[in-house]
């Protein structure tokens, strides 16, 4: 069967490519639902995402497009994020809010910034050295090291700092010290203001794309072997011919699907690493009111080792419509490679101890979402390996895009932008 373009995967990247391409295409999605990690699910009156999925957009054309697709303006939200450590809540980012720390830890962070070594900072230096050079020993000890050890589940001497822009706010030393002595009122970071659909969670964006593209999407259609020499993909018992193949599945899996891929390409792909994340979603009815510890908060980073999760977020504080009346809904994120995560009950016990769920509140529902691919690991080999693999794929008219296709730390806006760039390029071919 002949189609001009074949797209693998109906996450935000695959859907965006389908939206922007002017060539005929078929989009194969292995699951019975479209959306990938940007889906939302509904349960007992609650709406849950695949953990917090908030929309941070710089390009107003993309914002306008998404608002047109969902036929409503986004909610515009001023971030209210926190860190829980040493029995205290510290506003995010930690490094610009030392004022809120207990005295001993605050002093250590101040001393650390004053005595940090003046070493050259470069992109692919070990993350742990980068953190100490940027922020000093104290901030590294109390936040950068424990939080990133949890998030990445990887040796911080082998993880590089090349992912940190734009994700880690970098106030200068003067500001860090200033805000150790007084409250900070400056917003830091790429997501200090973000957007979110007024209803139906992040998945509302997916619904918007799907309405436009549904005639070209085949669900329950897992792309299997790819014969890159004859330009065919095997799906549900048939061979489909393509001119260009746009894959948004994880790059490492794409390589394994190639028929007779060169040994050096297979070996290179085996050296690409990633983390997995478990998200536990919980819907709760409160007895009197939402617990004081989470009132108004959007999410809380939890760096200390004694808690097995790295972040807790409160969906319904971002968009009240995500929970029924007198209720709130949360997500809890665990990171790991070997999937030894807590279950719902044990997680709820931790949250009650932390005052994040009220002791008398009623758990209405809880579910587990496991994301086998969550964050790609930035080590020193990654970029070199990617250059080799991408060159090989592009030579054979295969384009691997998206967070896992391009093997990068990307987000919704970048996925849409990259899909558009590729569609524009292939439209001319
Ligand atoms: C914990 C977490 C929190 C995040 N929070 C945010 C946030 O707040 N804001 C933000 O902008 N971004 C966030 N992101 C990033 C965001 O989820 C991704 O950038 C985005 O979902 C990537 O979309 P994608 O289409 O590239 O990949 P995916 O969503 O992974 O989609 C790939 C699709 O391909 C399908 N597929 C895979 N293999 C095959 C096959 N062989 N055949 C057919 N189909 C196949 C899958 O089923 C899936 O539908 C977060 C990510 C994580 C992990």
Q: Give, for all 429 residues of the chain, the pLDDT tens digit.
A: 556 899 999 999 999 999 999 999 999 999 999 999 999 999 999 999 999 999 999 999 999 999 999 999 999 999 999 999 999 999 999 999 999 999 999 999 999 999 998 888 998 999 999 999 999 999 999 999 999 999 999 999 999 999 999 899 999 999 999 999 999 988 898 889 999 999 999 999 999 999 999 999 999 999 999 999 999 999 999 999 999 999 999 999 999 999 999 999 999 999 999 999 999 999 999 999 999 999 999 999 999 999 999 999 999 999 999 999 999 999 999 998 766 789 999 999 999 999 999 999 999 999 999 999 999 999 999 999 999 999 999 999 999 999 999 999 999 999 999 999 999 999 987
Which of 7, 9, 233, 278 should be mutated for ligand 1, with most atoms under 8 A from CB?
9
Using an 8 Å Cβ cutoff, are 363 and 385 in contact? no
pLDDT of residue 199: 96
Q: How far is the CA of 145 from the centre of ligand 1 (A)?
A: 27
The domain 5-32+219-273+378-427 is placed in CATH, from the list 3.50.50.60, 3.40.1280.10, 3.30.360.10, 3.40.50.2000, at: 3.50.50.60
Name the fold adopted by 81-181.
protoporphyrinogen ix oxidase, domain 3 (1.10.3110)
* pLDDT number for residue 119: 85
Please identify, by atom number, the ligand 1 atom nearest to the C-alpha of residue 28: 43
Distance 329 CA to ligand 1 centre (A): 22
Ligand 1 neighbour 49 (Cβ under 6 A): no
Dist. CA 227–CA 241, nearest whole Å: 10
Query: Is the whole model's pTM more than 0.95, yes or no?
Result: yes
Closest residue CA from atom 45 of ligand 1: 9
CA distances from 266 to 230, 259, 378 (A): 19, 11, 19
Whether residue 256 has its Cβ less than 6 Å from ligand 1: no
DSSP secondary structure code for residue 305 in this structure? T
CA–CA dist 40, 322 (Å, integer):
10
Delimiting residues of CATH 3.50.50.60 domain(s) in the chain: 5-32+219-273+378-427
Span(s) in the chain for CATH 1.10.3110: 81-181
What does the pLDDT read at residue 18?
A: 98
Question: Does residue 226's CB lie within 6 angstroms of at least one atom of ligand 1?
Answer: no
**Closest ligand 1 atom, residue 221 Cα:** 43
Question: Is there an atom of ligand 1 within 6 Å of 142 CB?
Answer: no
What was the pLDDT predicted at 171? 93
Residue 239, Cβ neighbours under 10 Å: how many? 14
Question: Which residue among 152, 247, 400, 403 has the greatest number of ligand 1 atoms within 8 angstroms of its CB, and so is best to mutate?
Answer: 403
Q: Is the CB of 6 under 6 A from ligand 1?
A: no
For ligand 1, whether the C-beta of 36 sits within 6 Å is yes
Peptide bond into 194 cis (omega under 30): no
If you compute the radius of gyration of the chain from its CA atoms, what whole number of angstroms results? 23
Question: How many Å lie between the centroid of ligand 1 and the Cα of residue 403?
Answer: 6
Cα-based angle 191, 375, 422 (whole degrees, multiple of 5):
75
Residue 246 in contact with ligand 1 by CB distance below 6 A: no
Measured from the CB, is residue 400 less than 6 Å from ligand 1? Answer: no
| Residue 338, pLDDT score | 63
Any ligand 1 atom below 6 A from CB of 191: no
Question: For residue 4, what pLDDT is reported?
Answer: 86
Cβ atoms of 195 and 63 closer than 8 Å: yes
Q: Is the CB of 248 under 6 A from ligand 1?
A: yes
């Amino acid at each position: 069967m002949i189609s001009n373009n074949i797209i693998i995967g109906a996450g935000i990247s695959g859907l965006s490519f389908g939206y922007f391409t002017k060539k005929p295409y078929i989009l194969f999605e292995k699951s019975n639902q479209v959306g990938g990690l940007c889906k939302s699910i509904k349960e007992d009156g609650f709406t849950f995402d695949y953990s917090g999925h908030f929309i941070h957009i710089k390009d107003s054309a993309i914002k306008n497009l998404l608002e047109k697709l969902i036929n409503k303006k986004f909610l515009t939200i001023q971030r209210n994020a926190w860190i829980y450590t040493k029995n205290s809540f510290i506003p995010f980012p930690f490094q610009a809010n030392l004022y809120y720390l207990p005295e001993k830890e605050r002093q250590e962070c101040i001393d650390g910034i004053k005595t940090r070594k003046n070493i050259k900072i470069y992109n692919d230096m070990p993350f742990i050295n980068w953190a100490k050079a940027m922020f000093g020993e104290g901030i590294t000890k109390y936040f950068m090291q424990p939080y990133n050890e949890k998030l990445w589940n990887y040796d911080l001497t082998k993880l590089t700092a090349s992912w940190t822009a734009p994700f880690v706010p970098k106030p200068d030393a003067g500001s860090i010290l200033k805000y150790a002595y007084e409250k900070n009122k400056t917003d830091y970071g790429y997501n200090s203001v973000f957007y979110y659909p007024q209803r139906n969670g992040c998945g509302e964006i997916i619904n918007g794309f799907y309405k436009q593209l549904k005639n070209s999407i085949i669900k329950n259609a897992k792309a299997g072997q790819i014969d890159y020499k004859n330009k065919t993909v095997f799906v549900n018992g048939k061979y489909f011919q393509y001119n260009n193949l746009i894959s948004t599945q994880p790059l490492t899996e794409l390589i394994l699907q190639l028929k007779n891929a060169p040994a050096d390409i297979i070996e290179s792909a085996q050296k690409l690493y990633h983390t997995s994340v478990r998200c536990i979603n919980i819907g709760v009815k409160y007895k009197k009111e939402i617990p004081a510890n989470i009132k108004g908060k959007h999410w809380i980073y939890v760096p200390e080792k004694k808690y097995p999760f790295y972040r807790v977020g409160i969906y319904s504080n971002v968009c009240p419509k995500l929970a029924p009346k007198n209720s709130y809904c949360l997500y809890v994120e665990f990171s790991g490679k070997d999937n030894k995560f807590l279950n719902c009950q044990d997680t709820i016990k931790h949250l009650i101890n932390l005052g994040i769920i009220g002791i008398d509140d009623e758990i209405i529902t809880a579910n587990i979402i496991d994301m086998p691919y969550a964050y790609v690991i930035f080590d020193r080999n990654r970029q070199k390996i990617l250059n080799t693999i991408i060159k090989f794929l592009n030579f054979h008219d295969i384009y691997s895009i998206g967070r896992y296709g391009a093997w990068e730390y990307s987000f919704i806006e970048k996925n849409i932008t990259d899909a558009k760039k590729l569609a524009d390029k292939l439209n001319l071919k």
